[in-house]
Structure 1
């Protein structure tokens, strides 16, 4: 599995995957396709520039970018022991092939070794059973549920809040 940090030169592939995800799975993301489609590619490239407190990772194969995941350390001093996963998306044609797990494991290793955090959080639509199963397999646990987290086309969706803790941390 070829997972690496995305950089500004990956902006077009990243934006194409992100827009596809926003179209195919609108209830999985807080951003909407309409909001993101108008984003200039220069801004997308800027978002992928190196930052010491977070990264976006991509899984590549011969056919190009197959999935993405973002991770960001919390910014406030008293919260900096935590990071959060965002923007996780795997192309439907490669789901169930280990791409999502490889991305998550890479992001969690980065969080532990590079960011030095003790905990990683994420939010997931309660109806996204495949994502929930994946997150549980890598060690995330539900610690709460927010009712009506997202409103998409007049329908409210609930979100599970999940956490993964570094094994050596108390």
Structure 2
């Protein structure tokens, strides 16, 4: 299993995994399949181009992309000590192989060592017990729960807002 940063050459594979996640787990993402299905491949290539404030990691088994996770640094000066995890998804045939753990660990390592962030935030559907357990196991804590955060069809979903703080040895405080 190879975990690496994605780049514009990975756009078609990333797009396929992303759309699959939006279809199979619509309550896990703020975006919807309908909002992203017609997005031009060039937009995805631009999204995966190297940036100082945003990265996407992928998990590969050979040439097959099995999982993805994005990390975005907050852009405002007073918030730039924080990052946000987004778009985490592992395809069903990749589950049970520690792929999600390895992807999130790579994102956190990048946050701490490359960007020297003090904390990383994410949101997780309260009913997704596997995801919440994974996030907790890597140091995330719930700091709030938003009732009715997302509506998918006629069903309302709650979300936990979670934070992981940088290891004390890496903080500048």
Match in the other structure for 2:93: 93
TM-score relative to the length of structure 2:
0.96
Deviation, 1:93, is 1.2
Cα distance in 2 for partners of 1:60, 1:52 equals 23
- Paired with 1:107 and 1:4, the residues of 2 have a C-alpha distance of 10
Q: C-alpha displacement at 1:62, in angstroms?
A: 2.1
* C-alpha deviation, 1:63, in angstroms: 5.1
Q: What are the Cα deviations for residues 68-102 of structure 1, in whole angstroms up to 9, with x where unaligned?
A: 00001101111111001000000111112110000
Deviation string, structure 1 residues 85-144 (Cα, Å, up to 9, x no partner): 000000111112110000000000000111110000000000000100100111101000
- Show the counterpart of 2:103: 103
Normalised TM-score (structure 1):
0.98
Task: Give the secondary-structure state (helix, strand or coil) at the position aligned to 1:21.
Answer: helix
Partner of 1:125: 125
Q: Match for residue 30 of structure 1?
A: 30
Question: Which runs of 5 or more structure 1 residues have no equivalent in the other structure?
Answer: none
Query: What RMSD, in angstroms, separates the aligned Cα atoms of the two structures?
Result: 0.9
- Runs (5+) with no aligned partner, structure 2: none
Partner of 1:158: 158
